[in-house]
Structure 1
Amino acid sequence: MDILNLYNELQAYLLIAALLFGFGLYGIIKNRSLIGILISAELVLCAASVNFMAFNRFLAPDPVVGQIFALFIMGLAAAEAAIILSIVIAVYRNYKSIDPEEPVELAG
């Protein structure tokens, strides 16, 4: 395989990961809904997973390492989604809204 083709293929994966990361970061900053923020955080984690898989495919000698990291990120994303959705449900029960700026008081 030619090194120039290898670089071009890796560059395509990195561009996809950068776009996913950019969209996710923009969504985290600009979203007014907790569900939208959760989806945007999932996009950021997906971008990290694409990066691990791309670098593993093109640069690492052992093909299992990147796949293990991607599976770890999937598990982390699932745990994050479960925790944040339970927080969203608790906030909705107390404030009848999922706007992240609505709960201004901290109850102990």
Structure 2
Amino acid sequence: MFEPGLILGAYLFCIGFLGLITSRNMVRALMSLESIFNSININFLTFSNFFSNNRASGEIFPIFVIAVAAAEAATGLATATSLRRNGRSTRIDQFNLLKW
């Protein structure tokens, strides 16, 4: 049961990467980045189950990835909210609106 987990992780990574490089909206780009982080978690858990040696080393890494994703979501959504409040837009190419 090794291949379906890796195929799912690769599929989710490709969808997230495609969404990240084609997105102009900051919120959509953040959602695509979360999809990439979830695909990494799926691959960590798949390899952990495949190389099972009665240690929880593979299950610990996704916890750190989730913590980094939560911090990224908080700072990214705060930046998107600030952009929306000041410039009436959340487009990625309009970061110059945050300058004083």
Task: Give TM-score, length-normalised by structure 1.
Answer: 0.85
Find the counterpart in structure 2 of residue 86 from structure 1.
78
Aligned partners of 2:22, 2:61: CA distance in 1, in Å?
A: 29
Structure 2 segments unaligned to the other structure (5+ residues): none
The Cα offsets for residues 43-94 of structure 1, whole Å up to 9 and x where unpaired, read as: 0000100010000001141441111101111111111100100010111122
C-alpha RMSD of the superposition: 1.5
Which protein has the bigger helix share? Answer: 2
Count residues in correspondence.
100
Q: Is the 8 A contact 2:16 2:35 kept in 1?
A: yes
- Give the 3-state SS of the residue equivalent to 2:8 in structure 1: helix
Task: Give TM-score, length-normalised by structure 2.
Answer: 0.91
Larger radius of gyration: 1
Find the counterpart in structure 2 of residue 44 from structure 1.
36
Deviating beyond 6 angstroms after TM superposition, the runs of 4 or more aligned structure 1 residues are none
**Equivalent residue in structure 1 for 2:57, among 53, 65, 90:** 65
Find the counterpart in structure 2 of residue 98 from structure 1.
90
